[in-house]
């Protein structure tokens, strides 16, 4: 199934999808929305989720790293795991 995307200021293009995929997307369109609006909304939502979780992880990692004792403890445990890996016959 081919359908046009209407992009103001951009050239229109065509995306080929299965008809069932088109139908799934069609069901998500809000009143007054075009396919292009829908795809942009979905892409924005996806990027927002990824960015939010990345930021949560970055902030968490930075805060955790401020705790020198906890970092040292993690290093010691990682050494222990590495030794265990050697005993088990593989390079971690």
Query: Site residues (CB under 8 A) for other proteins?
Result: 50, 52-58, 60-61, 63-65, 67, 70-71, 73-78, 80-82, 84-85, 88-92
Closer residue to other proteins (CB): 29 or 83: 83
Cβ of residue 82: shortest distance to other proteins, in angstroms? 7
Cβ closer to other proteins: 3 or 57? 57
Kindly state the tokens that stand for 61: 């990692």
Minimal distance in Å, beta carbon 71 to other proteins?
Answer: 5
Tell me the C-alpha distance between 83 and 20, whole Å.
53
Closest CB to other proteins among 29 and 70? Answer: 70
Exposure string for 48-72, b = 16+ CB within 10 A, e = fewer: eeeeeeeeeeeeeeeeeeeeeeeee
Rounded CA-CA distance 8/37 in Å is 11
């Amino acid at each position: 199934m081919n359908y046009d995307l209407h992009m103001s200021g951009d050239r229109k293009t065509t995306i080929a999808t299965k008809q069932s995929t088109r139908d799934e997307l069609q069901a998500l369109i809000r009143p007054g929305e075009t396919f292009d609006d829908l795809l942009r909304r979905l892409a924005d939502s996806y990027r927002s989720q990824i960015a939010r979780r990345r930021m949560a992880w970055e902030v968490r990692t930075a805060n955790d790293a401020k705790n020198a004792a906890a970092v040292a403890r993690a290093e010691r445990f990682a050494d222990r795991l590495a030794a265990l890996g050697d005993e088990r016959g593989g390079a971690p």
